[in-house]
Amino acid sequence: MGCIQSGFNSSAYLACVGVAPVYPEEQVSMFADRVGATGAPWIRPTAIAFLRVNRMIYWKNQPGGLYGDCGANTASAPSTDQTISRISGQVATSDPEPISKGIITLVAQISGIFGAAHQQAVMTEQQTLCTVTIKYNQFADAMEAALRGGQIALKDASQQLESVHQSLASALSHIEKPYDAPYGYHKALDALVLFNQEIIYPSLVPTNSVSSLLGSVENFLGLSATGSPQSPSSRASAGIFSNPLLWAVAVVVAIFAFRGK
């Protein structure tokens, strides 16, 4: 953790590792605070730095980029492109969602790395932190691509994220102690998951997809399944296709979406 020093903050951290921020601190710091990223002076700034690039960062002795000197100290970690390409090649050509199946396999791979108690016992702290960092970032790359391409539903994306979250958090919890590095990384991971579920993933859903348009229509009309006004909370759970008026609107939206392709 060589970038941590007196007066440490998220900007200094990112400058030290040579990673440019994507988001300003004031837009993301609330997520670090909501998960309780406190306890040692470095924990909150580190979590905020991760949030500002929407990725995890780790190194042991030599900082540099997202992974520093992780190198051979990690579990097997092929690139996201290699993983998705290999998995996609195994999926039938008639399958409309090869990337979403690739993500499911990647999630299973992550679970497998940390699933056995023996594997967790023999991994050092550095190996665990490196592997958690690399695997989370691989998953983030793949999921963001799938969401942008309309190849996975927002609800499914959130469920897969939570599955990865549980696997990685479990691995960290086995080695963490109050306010040490695994503890801080656990808090940063919690903050990233919250940030992505609430902000990033919804923002990546294509705005011209039929499902997005239908959801917008339902929200705009503010109608329940019976055609009567409803509250925002009940509106979210109402079925759009159970209302004749919404059926008609859905058909029109689908026609325009088809013409636009």
| Per-residue pLDDT at 246 | 52
> In which band, very low, low, confident or very high, does the pLDDT at 161 lie, cut at 50, 70 and 90?
very high
Does the pLDDT at position 55 exceed 80?
yes
Does the pLDDT at position 53 exceed 90?
yes
For the residues 52-70, what does the mean pLDDT come to? 90
**229 SS3 class:** strand
> In which band, very low, low, confident or very high, does the pLDDT at 188 lie, cut at 50, 70 and 90?
very high
> In which band, very low, low, confident or very high, does the pLDDT at 83 lie, cut at 50, 70 and 90?
very low
What DSSP letter does each residue of the chain carry, written as one string? -TT--TT--HHHHHHHHT---SS-HHHHHHHHHHTT--SSTTHHHHHHHHHHHTS----SS---TTTTT-GGGSS----HHHHHHHHHHTS-TT-S-HHHHHHHHHHHHHHHHHHSHHHHHHS-HHHHHHHHHHHHHHHHHHHHHHHHTT-S-HHHHHHHHHHHHHHHHHHHHTT--TTSHHHHHHHHHHHHHHHIIIIIHHHHS-TTSHHHHHHHHHHHHTB-TTSSB--HHHHHHS-GGGSHHHHHHHHHHHHHHHHT-
> In which band, very low, low, confident or very high, does the pLDDT at 63 lie, cut at 50, 70 and 90?
confident
- pLDDT-above-90 percentage for the chain: 48
Does the pLDDT at position 153 exceed 70?
yes
| Per-residue pLDDT at 213 | 46
For the residues 234-244, what does the mean pLDDT come to? 46
Q: Chain-wide mean pLDDT for the chain?
A: 74
Query: Taking Cα atoms as reference points, which of 125, 113, 195 lies closest to residue 161?
Result: 195
For the residues 66-95, what does the mean pLDDT come to? 49
> In which band, very low, low, confident or very high, does the pLDDT at 217 lie, cut at 50, 70 and 90?
very low
Query: Taking Cα atoms as reference points, which of 69, 55, 56, 74 lies closest to residue 2?
Result: 69
> In which band, very low, low, confident or very high, does the pLDDT at 62 lie, cut at 50, 70 and 90?
confident
- Higher per-residue confidence, 18 vs 4: 18
In tens, the pLDDT along 86-145 reads 433 433 333 445 556 667 666 766 666 655 544 554 468 888 999 999 999 999 999 999
| Per-residue pLDDT at 172 | 93
| Per-residue pLDDT at 226 | 41
Does the pLDDT at position 57 exceed 90?
yes
In tens, the pLDDT along 27-44 reads 999 999 999 999 999 999
| Per-residue pLDDT at 232 | 42
pTM: 0.68
